[in-house]
Structure 1
């Protein structure tokens, strides 16, 4: 029997026809392979369902963590749900497809390099990755608006029934922290989140003001506290492998077509386990 691999991908953005074709091309190497999907499959409910159903039919197990785009209430999406209600509807759709979500028991990877608990996370962001020179969330947001670098989330990602996105983030962090603390202490983990769990990966952003929509300081020690073998994330559209406190961080996004044309070619699937033998990017 072929030994399985754990692969990862994110930021498929299947509304773009070229990206849709890339998603259609994603296939396992064996019947034992798993796939983690770290968010931003698409903006429309039906597009997310199309992609996850396709992948669930090919990989032995698919594990999904939401990105910000899935949570948008897009004006062209017939599914006009907002906030927690939209997230819960996405979870329900995933469960109907056999796709695991942050609300399900964390699966244990039994293949080479295991046993490793694979934990899909949904913790959002709380604006604590402040823009350079800002001392408060309000200052940071003002600087972003003044520079014209404002995430579309401010208009389409609604936190209902929470009063703000950062309040929703704090609630998700508290819930997720409890679940991670309950993982078998003998297990290493693969932490899958749309956003990087630490700020360092955002420091290469062309527009540093955008970092405030890229995570929270509340997760800064999770990769060490919760014994991460690897942290998988997307959102930045800068695919690369880095290390923080000795832990491998893998940015696995496909990104937009225009972005791929300006960087060296790289396959859309990224091997997480067993640890691939390759040089890590700086």
Structure 2
């Protein structure tokens, strides 16, 4: 205790301030060697900071564990929620399971949450103190998307300008091949939303919430400012001008079928979140809607980064700071 007091006093006397910021990132996809290397090469300057990882790290349980442990070495505290890729069930994950029965996506989700508890990665709300002495609470929100066939009222589905081929889209969407669902008494989006209910309340300090999936349909398309940020990213990468495409812009596919759910937005508003972080769409966002700042800072795939679509990565060279706001 004496040593800590002396160190603290020295920092104050020398005019130094211990930083304690909140950073966020999603869609690391470290199954891809170039992505894993990118994360490994992050700066070591985050040792006092907090990291939010908004899902889609990997579908491999051993790789997920080793990646989270690596992030814990770089950051003081790590928060995390699974994305859709984590709930893919392959032979490897079945072998890694401690369960005796056959693996499904819900069992795998529960196994991931248990693993995170063991290694001290937070998947439940926790009150934190920033470097400025301000308390905040970080609230992970479990989630899934709702397709229009499963629950139209909760779906973010919006009929696009192009003709849709539902059969083709379902074949293209890999969750339909790798996720295995037990019989549920409600939709998948509402199943996961129910797991959040005990934590959905008003808090006496600023709330930063995060989910993997999108909570609002208007986050799918970019604002003018976000399109301009892509142009800037391409300039930083010395790339020529290009005509920007809308999200999910190729014939016969509509991303909004798989984007997220409305119940997430309801929970965000009930929490009174100041900031909400999400991922999933592999397009970065940063905007304020009705007094909530929505941030998506995805690593995505190399091809997307090489096109400059993951704007902000050149600036931050890692996760993006989301708190303090200034």
- Answer yes or no: same fold by TM over 0.5: yes
1:81-100 matched pairs, under 5 angstroms: 81-100=103-122
Shift of 1:205: 1.4
Counterpart of 1:175 (choices 179, 182, 195) is 195
Contact 1:38–1:65 under 8 Å retained in 2 = yes
Counterpart of 1:218 (choices 263, 286, 302) is 263
SS of the counterpart of 2:276? strand
SS of the counterpart of 2:62? helix
Contact 1:40–1:69 under 8 Å retained in 2 = yes
Contact 2:219–2:285 under 8 Å retained in 1 = no
SS of the counterpart of 1:117? strand
Matched, 1:234 2:253: no
Aligned residue for 2:96?
A: 79
Aligned residue for 2:159?
A: 132
Distance 1:147 1:55, change over 3 A: closer
Shift of 1:222: 3.3
Q: TM-score, normalised by structure 1?
A: 0.84
Counterpart of 1:162 (choices 184, 190, 197) is 184
Unmatched runs of 5 consecutive residues or more in structure 2: 1-16, 98-102, 148-154, 222-245
Greater share of residues in helix: 2
Distance 1:30 1:54, change over 3 A: closer
Counterpart of 1:4 (choices 20, 30, 41) is 20
Contact 1:34–1:59 under 8 Å retained in 2 = yes
Matched, 1:271 2:321: yes
Counterpart of 1:197 (choices 168, 191, 215) is 215
Contact 2:212–2:279 under 8 Å retained in 1 = yes
Contact 1:149–1:210 under 8 Å retained in 2 = no
Q: In structure 2, what is the Cα distance between the partners aligned to 1:180 and 1:157? A: 27
How many aligned positions are there? 263
RMSD across aligned positions (CA):
2.5
1:156-186 alpha-carbon deviations (Å, 9 max, x no partner):
12222426xx6232122133134212x52x2
Q: In structure 2, what is the Cα distance between the partners aligned to 1:193 and 1:113? A: 26
1:21-60 matched pairs, under 5 angstroms: 21-27=37-43, 29-60=45-76
Aligned residue for 1:137?
A: none
Q: Which has the larger radius of gyration?
A: 2
Distance 1:158 1:148, change over 3 A: closer
Matched, 1:256 2:256: no
